[in-house]
């Protein structure tokens, strides 16, 4: 692999002077795009040429992608640092056969849990499961990271399908978050979902205790209006939640890959079992495509290879995710965890230092809002930011078709502008008559767009539950493929541990119950300042 990375870097370097606009042709627009599951992924507006693509595909073979993908889907313990299988795909395996872990078929339990979840969601939605004061009007999901970002993102994305109670999400340990959410709610008609794989996460357990106390002021048996989603059933009963309202899952479901099962409960209650199943089926269709399609026709593989090309090949450290879909406002935050917690690692599976940079820095905002904020840097800054646009053919607001046309035009225009740019001569031509001589030159230089900036475009018909499932599974598999090429374990997250340990030790210091003397001078001084100012 080392030689292949060196060759990739060489190809990346050689592409520096390559003009994307000059590469463009009808044939390229077809050949550098993939159609799958009714969606189209276009990567023609990048500097990747056929030689680079062939090399990237050869890297997949060298990294044994086929074998590793098969190992994941078949329940092998590929999360080697935690000794676990990685089987979020089993949670949406509605039509597939058995999936064996330790010689046991996990599917009967998975399907049984989906059935129980649906039964509970129906009871809430139909008013059969009631709070002390009557049918549930509001659901509050308390969780963080994968136990928040996925369901929160998808619930917002599918808001046009909501026909259940209102859903709210509390994650931050900052008391402002829970106070603002609970403030307007009626505790006698609120259901609290405590979503935590481990049921030990400090933020979630603190917020859960706060919610229980809040409810206890008006509700005789607050725990009766609580649900737990967790792998740790001993801890959920310690918290007082009856096992009839505990929805468990196995440790082979990673936190950031978990919204397909119990962690998706808030989404299920919001959109109902039928739409939730469509969401699962969308993901299942993408799984099938990922398992069967040849690399150059495989959407997750080509999305991953485009990412590898930009990051490790061309050296672009960040990636902007730009959904032209307001309801996908939380998608960039969700992808930050999915991609950066999965592939932000500095050693490979065998513990050796990575030969190349780890996964990219992911960020973004929906269009067109971002256009009026950070696109300035994307167009004219000195660093190149590969942009990943996403766009629906159709919106939901039938009476606002004109707005959807504007949205489409803006998205396509941004990708075109990034590619084409504007030369100094073109800028001068625009200003002639207004300025002359040196001043014309000076003014024109501010209006030059270097262009040749890469972008990709994911088109989908409409943001239905099924399409949403496809999109999320597409990104999950993209992260997997990138991880396989990098040779890392995409399924652990040791990098979050140190800060957690130190926070635990610092809390008594902040409270004035322990001394700050073993802290470094900067930290001790900061604590002192905070204490003198009210902490
Ligand atoms: O701190 C990171 C993390 O472990 C994530 O991986 C996970 O999604 C999140 O915390 C929440 O964990 P849990 O679901 O166990 O509360």
In the predicted model, is pLDDT for residue 95 greater than 90?
Answer: no
Whole-angstrom CA distances from 22 to 27, 54, 366 are 13, 20, 29
pLDDT at 14: 96
- Beta strands 134-135 and 130-131: pairing type? antiparallel
Residue 1 has pLDDT above 90, yes or no: no
Cis peptide, bond prior to residue 35, ω within 30 of zero: no
Which residue, judged by its Cα, is nearest atom 10 of ligand 1? 145
248 three-class SS: strand
Cite the DSSP H helix spans in 309-354.
331-335, 342-343
Provide the pLDDT for residue 314.
98
Q: Are 512 and 530 in contact (CB under 8 A)?
A: no
Rounded distance from Cα 139 to ligand 1 centre (Å): 21
C-alpha distances (whole Å) from 132 to each of 222, 396, 512 are 9, 37, 41
**CA–CA distance, 31 with 295 (Å, rounded to integer):** 13
Q: What does the pLDDT read at residue 365?
A: 98
CB 360 within 8 Å of CB 307: yes
Whether 96 shows a pLDDT value over 90: the answer reads: no
CB atoms within 10 A of CB 180: 12
Which residue from 486, 451, 473 is spatially nearest to 305, judged by alpha carbons?
486
Q: Given a cut of 90, is residue 11 above it in pLDDT?
A: yes
Q: Whose CA is nearest to atom 8 of ligand 1?
A: 146
Per-residue exposure over 299-308, b if at least 16 CB sit within 10 Å of its own CB, e if not: bbbbbbbbbb
Taking the centre of ligand 1 as the mean of its atom positions, its distance from the CA of residue 249, in whole angstroms, is 14
pLDDT, tens digit (0-9, with 9 covering 90-100), for 394-405: 999 999 999 999
Q: Averaged over 196-201, what is the pLDDT? A: 96
Rounded mean pLDDT, 498-502: 95
- Residue of 81, 141, 144, 489 with the most ligand 1 atoms within 8 Å of its CB, for mutation: 144
- Burial class for 349, CB neighbours closer than 10 Å (0-12, 13-18, 19+): middle
Name the residue among 467, 451, 448, 449 with its Cα closest to residue 459. Answer: 467
Average pLDDT over residues 427-444: 97
pLDDT band at 232 (very low <50, low <70, confident <90, very high): very high
CB 157 within 8 A of CB 270: no
Residues 6+ apart with CB under 8 A from 495: 341, 344, 345
Task: For a ligand 1 pocket test, name from 201, 258, 503 the mutation site with the most ligand atoms within 8 angstroms of its C-beta.
Answer: 201
Positions marked catalytic: 341, 372, 500
Give, as one character, the DSSP assignment of residue 383. Answer: S
The full length of the chain comes to 535
Question: What average pLDDT is seen over the chain?
Answer: 97
Average pLDDT over residues 347-364: 96
CA of 195 to the centre of ligand 1 (A): 10
* Residue whose CA lies nearest to ligand 1 atom number 16: 196
Ligand 1 atom 6 nearest Cα? 255
Give the β-pairing of 138-142 and 190-195. Answer: parallel
Half-sphere exposure of 527 (CA within 13 A, CB side): 20
Residue ranges around ligand 1 (CB below 6 Å): 144-147, 196-198, 201, 204, 255-256, 341, 493, 496
Q: What's the 204 CA to ligand 1 centre distance in angstroms?
A: 9
Closest ligand 1 atom to 147 CA: 14
Cα(474) to centroid(ligand 1), Å: 22
């Amino acid at each position: 692999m080392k030689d292949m990375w060196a060759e990739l870097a060489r190809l990346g370097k050689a592409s520096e002077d390559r003009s994307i606009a000059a590469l463009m042709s009808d044939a390229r627009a077809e050949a550098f795009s993939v159609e799958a599951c009714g969606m189209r992924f276009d990567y023609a507006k990048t500097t990747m040429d056929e030689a680079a693509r062939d090399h990237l595909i050869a890297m997949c073979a060298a990294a044994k992608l086929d074998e590793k993908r098969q190992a994941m889907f078949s329940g092998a313990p590929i999360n080697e640092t935690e000794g676990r299988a990685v089987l979020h795909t089993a949670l949406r395996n509605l039509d597939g056969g058995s999936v064996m872990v330790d010689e046991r078929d996990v599917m009967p339990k998975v399907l049984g849990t989906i059935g129980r979840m649906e039964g509970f969601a129906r009871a809430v939605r139909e008013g059969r499961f009631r709070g002390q004061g009557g049918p549930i009007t509001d659901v509050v999901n308390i969780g963080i990271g994968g136990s928040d970002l996925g369901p929160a993102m998808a619930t917002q994305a599918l808001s046009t399908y909501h026909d259940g109670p209102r859903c709210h999400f509390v994650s931050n340990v900052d008391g402002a978050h829970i106070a603002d959410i609970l403030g307007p709610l009626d505790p006698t008609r609120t259901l609290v979902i405590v979503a935590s794989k481990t049921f030990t996460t400090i933020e979630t357990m603190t917020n859960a205790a706060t919610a229980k106390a809040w409810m206890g002021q008006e509700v005789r048996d607050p725990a009766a209006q609580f649900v737990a989603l967790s792998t740790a059933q001993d801890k959920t009963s310690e918290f007082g939640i009856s096992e009839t309202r505990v929805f468990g899952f196995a440790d082979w479901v990673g936190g950031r890959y978990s919204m397909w099962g119990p962690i998706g409960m808030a989404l299920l209650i919001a959109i109902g079992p039928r739409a939730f199943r469509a969401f699962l089926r969308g993901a299942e269709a993408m799984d099938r495509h990922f398992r069967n399609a040849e690399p150059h026709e495989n959407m997750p593989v080509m999305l991953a290879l485009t990412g590898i090309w930009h990051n490790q090949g061309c050296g672009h450290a960040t990636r902007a995710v730009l959904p032209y879909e307001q309801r996908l406002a939380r998608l960039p935050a969700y992808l930050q965890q999915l991609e950066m917690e999965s592939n932000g690692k500095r050693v490979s599976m065998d513990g050796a230092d990575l030969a190349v940079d780890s996964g990219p820095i992911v960020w973004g905002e929906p269009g067109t809002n971002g256009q009026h904020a950070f696109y300035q840097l994307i167009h004219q800054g000195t660093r190149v930011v590969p942009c990943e646009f996403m766009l629906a053919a159709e919106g939901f607001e039938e009476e606002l078709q004109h707005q959807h046309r504007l949205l489409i035009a803006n998205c396509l225009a941004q990708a075109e502008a990034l590619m084409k740019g504007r030369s100094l001569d073109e800028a001068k031509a625009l200003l002639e008559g207004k300025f002359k001589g040196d001043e014309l030159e000076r003014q024109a230089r501010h209006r030059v767009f270097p262009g040749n900036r890469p972008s990709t475009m994911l088109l989908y018909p409409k943001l239905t539950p099924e399409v949403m499932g496809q999109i999320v599974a597409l990104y999950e598999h993209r992260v997997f493929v990138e991880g396989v090429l990098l040779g890392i374990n995409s399924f652990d997250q040791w990098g979050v541990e140190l800060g957690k340990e130190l926070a635990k030790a610092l809390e008594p210091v902040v409270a004035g119950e322990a001394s700050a003397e073993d802290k470094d001078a900067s930290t001790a001084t900061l604590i002192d300042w905070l204490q003198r100012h009210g902490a």
